[in-house]
Every structure is written in structure tokens, then in C-alpha cells.
Amino acid sequence: MRHLLSMADLDRAEILRILDTAVTMHEVQHREVKKLPTLRGRTIINFFFEDSTRTRSSFELAGKWMSADTINLTGKGTSVSKGESLRDTVRTIDAMGVDMMVIRHMASGAPAQIAQWTGCSIVNAGDGTHEHPSQALLDAYTMRARLGDLEGRHVAIVGDLTHSRVLRSNLLCLRSLGARVTLVAPPTLMPSGIGPWSDTDGFATSYELDDVLPSVDAVMMLRVQRERMGGGFFPTAREYAVTYGLTTARLRRLPEHAVICHPGPMNRGLEISGDAADAAQSLVLDQVSAGVAVRMSILYHLLAGEGSDQ
Ligand code: ASP
């Protein structure tokens, strides 16, 4: 495995290998001295053209805790702001002899294109509305840690599906792991081509959150991505919160064992209430913690593990 561009790059066995290695990596996080020599002498550039808190800092920590040399770049403060083309920018970085670029970009497909232009390993850290594979892997890790094997488990993915790269990666990942997925969104935020209850692709859809919640093992609330919305996708924020938000009242519809996930950043009071975000069933901070371990595992498998091309 040379690149991680899409969850479609990984089969079930590879996903499980990454998740199992992440369990070992997670132990490092709880040590006093957080350092493994595994990637000594390797150089990783985290190139984030779009904002990020969790993904950027966890990729940086993952690299550092494995002793790689890591550098962080953003569009601002580089020659991108002087009008340099994406191709010239990444080829310039590549010419310095880096081993890996972790790329976040507002254009869907940018990491795949960069993989064609450069000789290093490319990790997609979120591209437009396309994919966010490391997020799907950390979500699977977090749900497995609480629920066990995801085979046959029912996961509802709820909210702004149209604009969500997290959705696309999670669908691929959860399907590979044998989970049953129901997508819930208002008709305006249901991606085109997906109609109600057409489960030919291994998932069901619904416009009714209240009908779906009582049978879930996990509910994944997705952020309303206002920055990607050109027009009015719902009448008012209040109406959205009442109809599709995980409100405090709605928590009662969840089975006792069911868990709540959200990739962050959360719009508290919109897609998720403060009570739901902080409930005992909420795994939001477990997701953040798993993010570092899972990204360490990804770096390991791409740069040092058996089958890496380096
Ligand atoms: N942090 C995730 C992403 O970058 C989810 C979100 O922004 O809503 O896609």
C-alpha cells in the first residue's frame, strides 16, 4: 500500500490490520514518554489547504510520536498565496525528498491528482465533498472499541450528507466491515441518486430520524456544513434542530447500549444538543483520542509496515 486516497483502496483485511495496529499505538498515547523509533529518518509534510483542528494536529502528533520529521504547511504563508499552481507547489516539496504528504484540499480529487504528480506517499486528509478515509477508520476504531465487531451492527449516519466527505468514507468502511447503515437526512441534503429505502448499495435511507433511532447501535451525527452551502437547504436552523438534530428529548429514543459519534467540529444546538454531545453515550472525545492512534497506524502501514513500497 503506497497511498491512502479513498476507503475504496482498502479491503476488509487491510482495514482490520490498520485498526488492530492502532490498538497497539493507542497504548503509546498513555505512556509518559510518547515516542517510538519506527519512522526515524522519515519526513512527512502535512499540507493543509483547508482549515482543520483535529486532523492536522493528530497527523502531526502521530508523526512526531513515531519519530518522523514533520513539517506543517497551509495555503496561507506559502507561495500558493502568490498564485503558484498546485502542481508546482507539490512538485517543489517533493523535490526536497519527502517521504509522505498528508493533504487536505477543498477540491475533491486533489490528493489523487497530487499522487500522479509526485513520487511520495499521499494520504488524503479530506478532499472537498469526496472522502476523508482516516476519519472513517477512526470512527470504526471507536465504535468497535465500545460495541465489538461491527458485523451486523446498525449505524445511522444523520445530517448534511450532501456535503459530507465523512459520509462517503464511512459508507465504504462500514460496508466492508459488514455493518448495516441507514442514512437519514432531509430530502434537500440527501445526496442525489439516493432515494428513500433503496438499499441496492447495502444501505437504507430515511427522512424520519425518530423512526430509525430505536434500532441503532450507533448514531453518527454530521455537521451542517454551512461553508459548502450556496442556498437555503432548510427553512431555519431551529426547524432543522427540531427535525434532524439529536436533541435532548430524542436521546430517550436511543437504545441504552447505543453510542453517539460526531466527527467534529460540532454545531451545538443545531445537529446535536449540548446534552447529547456530553452524554455518557457520547464517544466524541474517544474519537479524537483514537484519531492519533489510527493515524499512527496509517503512517506505519504506509511508510514502515509490511507491504509498504518504501
Ligand atoms: N472534520 C470533518 C471534515 O473535515 C467533518 C466536518 O468538518 O464536518 O470533513
**Which pLDDT does position 289 carry in this prediction?**
96
Spell out the per-residue pLDDT of the chain, length 310, in tens: 899 999 999 999 999 999 999 999 999 988 999 999 999 999 999 999 998 999 999 999 999 999 999 999 988 877 777 888 999 999 999 999 999 999 999 999 999 999 999 999 999 999 999 999 999 999 999 999 999 999 999 999 999 999 999 999 999 999 999 999 999 999 999 987 664 444 456 789 999 999 999 999 999 999 999 887 766 788 888 999 999 999 999 999 999 999 999 999 999 999 999 999 999 999 999 999 999 999 999 999 999 976 565 4
CB of 115 closer than 8 Å to CB of 154: no
Q: Is 166 in the pocket of ligand 1 (CB under 6 A)?
A: yes
Q: Is 159 in the pocket of ligand 1 (CB under 6 A)?
A: no
> What are the structural domains, with CATH classification, of the chain?
7-131+291-303 (3.40.50.1370), 133-287 (3.40.50.1370)
Cα(264) to centroid(ligand 1), Å: 6
**Which pLDDT does position 193 carry in this prediction?**
66
Q: Is 130 in the pocket of ligand 1 (CB under 6 A)?
A: no
Cα(166) to centroid(ligand 1), Å: 7
**Which pLDDT does position 76 carry in this prediction?**
80
Q: Is 295 in the pocket of ligand 1 (CB under 6 A)?
A: no
Query: For atom 4 of ligand 1, which residue has the closest CA?
Result: 126
b/e map 70-85, b = 16+ CB within 10 Å? beebbbeeeebeeeee
Cα(159) to centroid(ligand 1), Å: 12
pTM of the predicted model, to two decimals? 0.95
Query: For atom 8 of ligand 1, which residue has the closest CA?
Result: 223
**Which pLDDT does position 254 carry in this prediction?**
98
**Which pLDDT does position 309 carry in this prediction?**
53
Q: Is 223 in the pocket of ligand 1 (CB under 6 A)?
A: yes
**Which pLDDT does position 214 carry in this prediction?**
98
Q: Is 263 in the pocket of ligand 1 (CB under 6 A)?
A: yes
